[in-house]
Amino acid sequence: MNEFLTTLTAIAASAFSPSTAALAIAAIGLNIHFGYTGLLNMGQAGFMLVGAYAFAISIVAGIPLFPAVLIALVAAAVFALVLGVPTLKLRGDYLAIVTISAAEIVRMIGRSSLLTDITGGSNGLTGQSYRGPFTDLSFLGDGQTTLGPFTYDNTGSNGWWVRLVAWSIVGILCLFVFLLMRSPWGRVLRGIREDEDAIRSLGKNVYAYKMQALILGGTIGALGGIIYVLPASVQADSMGRSMTFFVWTALLLGGAATVFGPVLGSIIFFALRLFVQGIAGQFVPDSIMNGQQAEQFSWILIGVVLMLVVIFRPQGVLGNKKELSFNVN
């Protein structure tokens, strides 16, 4: 029973870990793309990586924290612009193809040995090289704090400070998305999701709206990338194709086109995996399934859950049932 409690604690710890927040932020960005505007962005990890690299390289080059964040957001906006200009006038599938390959291009460039001086090649950039200015901002001081079963450094590399900042950003972004989507601007985006030509016939510049949505969601993705690398390191391979699919999974689990869906989805995504691993570790003997296999099994289970959600509850956990009652094709 004690071990069970440990598992539960681990699950709770991962539910509010910085990487969960980072995934949630990236999913909020993707929600603007897919949930509200209907853009199929299959390369959200590319936006995260662009943001992470731009941020880390700027700091290493001696640029202060806030300008560095700004540079990262601008880099992601330019990335979105480059992807959007040729594809947003075409049918939706083209954006999917272009984003998935662009994300791969960013990753391959990042890990290329030619750029080892700048990006660190496949070893990446270590956390210490760019974390300094961020941890210096902390007002929590040194030492450790224990809240319930959780004990972390106040400021250290993976402590309360980064958690506080990460989840504050999640909260601000949720509020931002809520404000945007109740506005006429959000209404136009949802209209574009339903039928572009109808919106065009009403005198709205669909291309400009899609571009705005792509840039906005992409910069939010970049912000997610920055949060993701703050407690860890910048490594091209940690934000590859699988990261894109984690973000998609989180979004679809929680419910696209809802404000809190992406956040809840990310929490469920991490918690479910740990839950399966923890349960398997305790109750399934190693001869049947060892720890490594349990991890792989948890991925399989995530995939199955995603399929079940898409088939039986396509609106996700938080989605609106009214929107489900008819299929639009």
Partner 1 sequence: MSTDLGVTPAPTKAAAAATASVAAVSPLPGVPKPDPILVVDNIVRQFGGMTAVNVPHLEVQRGIITALIGPNGAGKTTFFNLITGFDKPSSAPRLIGGPKSDHAARSMFNGRSVNNMGAAKVAQRGMVRTFQLTKALSRLTVLENMLLGAKDQPGENLFAAVIKPLWAAREREITLQAEDLLQRFKLLEKKNDMAGSLSGGQKKLLEMARALMSEPTMIMLDEPMAGVNPALTQSLLGHIKSLRDEGMTVLFVEHDMHMVRHISDWVVVMAEGKVVAEGPSATVMDDQAVIDAYLGAHHDTDLGDDSLLTDEVAEELAKEVELENRTEGDA
**Chain contacts with partner 1 (rule: CB under 8 A):** 176, 179-180, 183-188, 190-191, 193-195, 197-206, 212, 216, 322-323, 325-326, 328
Tell the smallest beta-carbon distance from residue 146 to partner 1 (Å). 39
Of the pair 242, 320, the CB lying nearest partner 1 is at: 320
Neighbours of 19 (CB within 10 A): 21
Least gap, CB of 322 to partner 1 (angstroms): 6
- Is 22 or 223 the residue whose CB approaches partner 1 more closely? 223
Residue 246: CB partners within 8 Å, gap ≥ 6?
23, 269
For residues 146 and 201, which CB has a smaller minimum distance to partner 1 in the complex?
201
> Please, are residues 166 and 28 in contact by the beta-carbon 8 Å criterion?
no
Instruction: Locate 148 and state its tokens.
Output: 């319930």
Question: Minimum Å distance from CB 152 to partner 1?
Answer: 34
Q: Which residues of 192-211 are buried (b: 16+ CB within 10 A; e: fewer)?
A: bbeebeebeeeeeebeebbb
Widest distance between CA atoms in the chain: 66
Q: Which is nearer to partner 1, 145 or 205 (CB)?
A: 205
First vs last C-alpha separation in the chain: 50
> Shortest approach of partner 1 to residue 286 CB, angstroms?
49
In eight-state DSSP terms, residue 146 is: E
- Residue 193's closest CA among 66, 40, 17? 40
Q: Shortest approach of partner 1 to residue 92 CB, angstroms?
A: 16
Q: Which is nearer to partner 1, 220 or 302 (CB)?
A: 220
Q: Which is nearer to partner 1, 30 or 216 (CB)?
A: 216
Three-state DSSP at 234 gives strand
Q: How far is the CB of 46 from partner 1 (least distance, A)?
A: 23
